Amino acid sequence: MASSGEEVSNKQVILKGYVTGFPKESDMYVRTSPIKLKLPEDESSNNAVLVKNLYLSCDPYMRGRMANRPPIVGHGVSEIVDSRHPGFKKGDLVWGRKMGWEEYSLIKEPEKLFRIHNTDVPLSYYTGILGMPGMTAYFGFYQVCSPKKGERVYISAASGAVGQLVGQFAKLMGCYVVGSAGSKEKVELLKSKFGFDDAFNYKEEHDLVAALKRYFPEGIDIYFENVGGKMLDAVLLNMRFHGRIAACGMISQYNLQQPEGVQNLTTVVFKRIRLEGFIVFDYFDQYPKFLDFVLPYIREGKIVYVEDITEGLEHGPSALVGLFSGRNVGKQVVKVTNE
Amino acid sequence: MASSGEEVSNKQVILKGYVTGFPKESDMYVRTSPIKLKLPEDESSNNAVLVKNLYLSCDPYMRGRMANRPPIVGHGVSEIVDSRHPGFKKGDLVWGRKMGWEEYSLIKEPEKLFRIHNTDVPLSYYTGILGMPGMTAYFGFYQVCSPKKGERVYISAASGAVGQLVGQFAKLMGCYVVGSAGSKEKVELLKSKFGFDDAFNYKEEHDLVAALKRYFPEGIDIYFENVGGKMLDAVLLNMRFHGRIAACGMISQYNLQQPEGVQNLTTVVFKRIRLEGFIVFDYFDQYPKFLDFVLPYIREGKIVYVEDITEGLEHGPSALVGLFSGRNVGKQVVKVTNE
């Protein structure tokens, strides 16, 4: 056994260049490079780890990085293959935001990777309910929305990685919850699987203002914003006094060269609305608290989680592109190997 | 002395109809009606008061009422001429939001009028620094903006009734304060009279984003929003992470049939911005606390207040219209009689 380690082939998804507009599969290609399964012993790899990627996560925020950083790097779940960092050893399972879209990644600063200790749940969950989207839903809802029992909660992109959880958290708190999504199948999922009080397909509504009025005749207390643009405008006209909008993302705007204008912001004043953006990374130090909260609910089946798992890294580009047209049903994950 | 009281003439400003677009002087006319200076003794006047209006206030929110309520009613300072309400007696001075634009007003539900006890300051101040705009500045800044010493504060419409106070409150707290206004004279006032660190004329800036960048090279922590539209868009691009925007008003939008779209709202997410609308009426029960805070500063000359007083009710329409083109310098007040 050579100390330089076995050399294997490393399949990689490469971005051809910076992406403008909607990302297309043809913006990426798959290639194979050789990689040694042992870290170099020189100084360049001090504190680095080498990981085998098991699951890669497709997340809306990745669109921003495609506009200015060609290598595709995102969240993932991986196994440590070699480590020169005292905090990690071979065989450890980790999740975090450092994984390249490839079979093996060399991670130079692994400090922010989270060790995975609970393996009685699907490992892919660490890209979703037990990872970044789960914390987004948890801290966004409980801390940014200031929810109270009985309040009326609206969630856009409600069947996605974050939305499905916000809805379930809101139901646990005794709120009235309506979600919107972009297909009949997703709407059905919201009602039958996630326990939303109601749901609708926004693509079938010509008048979003009227649609929201129908589901919230008395108005919306809390809007969990994943969409932006026209949806936000329609929501603003349906908000109740002292309503809160947690701005988690505005995916409808990410592929536009020129964002849509939001017309109805003046309602923020007279309705005393609080619109607050947040980024889950600010809450990462509270991860243990979050796990203590959510793991029991998963184990008892009181919170469910739907994933859309694409098998094989070579299908990664299609999965990632599909996220922006809403093709996924539930959290979009790429299982790196389909062996 | 007849119990029915002396009959006098009551000059009134009347709105011809609902106003669309920018209000014009020709949307209003002045007429004179007779009025008895004693309340009728029948049930219709139970708990009413009759007041002689001393000062009428020109406030941006009045634009909204001109769109759907022909009688012009606003804030004012008045003297009780007759009272059938146990809380008020002849000679009392009051301020509040019930004053018609006329010399004498019959107020049927005077409960929400504030009694004026401190008369060592100009009475007109109760339309401004000691009234609704003063409380707007106070609660908007201290409670909505969550200011901290050393933070960078930007105020639009900064020489107006509210802005000039927000700037002075922010300076008292040790913030860096820059304001914008629409004339050289106002900009000078901000710097020389109100102690702003800097100020600029937004009408002379072709690129508001660049102008704000110049005054806030490290970005804006707090924006006190009086304007909306393009200004808000430019501010959003200059906000710092975790910045706060107190949305007090959006006067640039009030006369538009179709509001301008705000393009840059997605920055709210990644910069974790809190945009919060508020209405001062929600804080009116804290008026005594506010007075205790602000009166000593006025008496000691540590806070100054600039008013633009138009003399004579017949010039009221011109004063009110001027508010929306920024003709006033400081708080716009109409002194009802110029005798």
Q: Do A170 and A35 sit in the same domain of this protein? A: no
Q: Which amino acid is at A242?
A: H
Could you tell me which of B311, B308, B147 has the C-alpha nearest to residue B221?
B147
Chain B residues 242-271 with a CB less than 8 Å from chain A: 247-250, 253-254, 258-271
Cβ contacts (< 8 Å) between A275 and chain B: which residues?
Answer: 268, 274-276
CATH number at residue A46: 3.90.180.10
Q: Do B212 and B276 sit in the same domain of this protein? A: yes
Check residues B261 and A123 and name the one with the higher pLDDT: A123
Query: Which residues lie closer than 8 Å to A258 by C-beta, 6 or more apart?
Result: B263
Task: Identify each DSSP E strand in chain A by its residue range.
Answer: 7-15, 28-36, 49-57, 73-83, 93-100, 104-107, 114-115, 152-155, 176-181, 198-201, 220-225, 239-247, 274-277, 307-311, 331-335
Cβ contacts (< 8 Å) between B250 and chain A: which residues?
Answer: 265-266, 269
List C-alpha distances in Å: B153 to A58, A254, B145, B246, B250.
38, 29, 10, 11, 18
**Averaged confidence pLDDT in chain A:** 93
pLDDT digits (tens, 9 = 90+) for B88-135: 999 999 999 999 999 999 999 999 999 999 999 999 999 999 999 999
Would A246 be classed as within a structural domain? yes
Q: Do B154 and B272 sit in the same domain of this protein? A: yes
Average pLDDT over residues A190-201: 98
ipTM reported for the complex, 2 dp: 0.86
In which residue ranges of chain B is pLDDT below 70? 1-4, 68-70, 339
B51 SS3 class:
strand
Output the pLDDT for position A142: 97
Q: Is B269 in Cβ contact with A247 (below 8 Å)?
A: yes
pLDDT digits (tens, 9 = 90+) for A92-118: 999 999 999 999 999 999 999 999 999
Q: Which strand (E) or helix (H) includes residue B299? A: helix B287-299
Chain B residues 197-236 with a CB less than 8 Å from chain A: 228, 232
Distance CA(A336)–CA(A99), nearest Å, equals: 12
Output the pLDDT for position B1: 38
Nearest CB among A258, A260, A261 relative to B260 is that of A261
Sign of CA dihedral A316, A317, A321, A327: negative
Q: Do A274 and A326 sit in the same domain of this protein? A: no
**Cβ–Cβ under 8 Å, residues A129 and A164:** no
Average pLDDT over residues A74-84: 97
Cβ contacts (< 8 Å) between B227 and chain A: which residues?
Answer: none
Would A300 be classed as within a structural domain? no
Q: Do B114 and B181 sit in the same domain of this protein? A: no
Q: Do B153 and B42 sit in the same domain of this protein? A: no
Distance CA(B251)–CA(B202), nearest Å, equals: 15
Q: Which residue does chain B place closest to A268, by CA atoms?
A: B277
Q: Which amino acid is at A60?
A: P
Q: Which residue does chain A place closest to B263, by CA atoms?
A: A261
Indicate the residue among B264, B281, B298 that finishes a domain.
Answer: B281
* Domain total of chain A: 2
Q: Do B199 and B318 sit in the same domain of this protein? A: no
| pLDDT over threshold 50, residue A1 | no
Output the pLDDT for position B22: 87
Would A297 be classed as within a structural domain? no
Sequence-ordered alpha helix ranges (H) in A157-239: 163-172, 184-192, 208-215, 230-236
| pLDDT over threshold 90, residue A260 | no
Distance of residue A260 Cα from the nearest chain B Cα, in angstroms: 6
pLDDT digits (tens, 9 = 90+) for A207-230: 999 999 999 999 999 999 988 889
Q: Do B148 and B227 sit in the same domain of this protein? A: yes
Q: Is B277 in Cβ contact with A259 (below 8 Å)?
A: no
| pLDDT over threshold 90, residue A261 | no
Distance CA(B266)–CA(B25), nearest Å, equals: 40
Would B289 be classed as within a structural domain? no
Which class for B270: exposed (0-12), middle (13-18), buried (19 or more C-beta within 10 A)?
A: middle
Distance of residue B296 Cα from the nearest chain A Cα, in angstroms: 30
Q: Is B277 in Cβ contact with A270 (below 8 Å)?
A: yes
Distance CA(B170)–CA(B222), nearest Å, equals: 10
Distance CA(B323)–CA(A330), nearest Å, equals: 52
Would B120 be classed as within a structural domain? yes
Would B92 be classed as within a structural domain? yes
| pLDDT over threshold 50, residue A294 | yes
Output the pLDDT for position A69: 65
Tokens of A285: 């130090």
Q: Do B123 and B136 sit in the same domain of this protein? A: no
Would A221 be classed as within a structural domain? yes
Q: How many CB atoms lie within 10 A of CB B153?
A: 27
Distance CA(B226)–CA(B323), nearest Å, equals: 13
Could you tell me which of A246, A313, A321, A314 has the C-alpha nearest to residue A23?
A321
Q: Do A251 and A327 sit in the same domain of this protein? A: no
| pLDDT over threshold 60, residue A175 | yes
Q: Give the range of the structural domain holding residue B119, as residue numbers without chain letter.
A: 7-128+306-335
CATH number at residue B276: 3.40.50.720
Q: Do A264 and A136 sit in the same domain of this protein? A: yes
Q: Do B143 and B172 sit in the same domain of this protein? A: yes
Q: Is B270 in Cβ contact with A272 (below 8 Å)?
A: no
Residue B264 DSSP label: -
Would A71 be classed as within a structural domain? yes
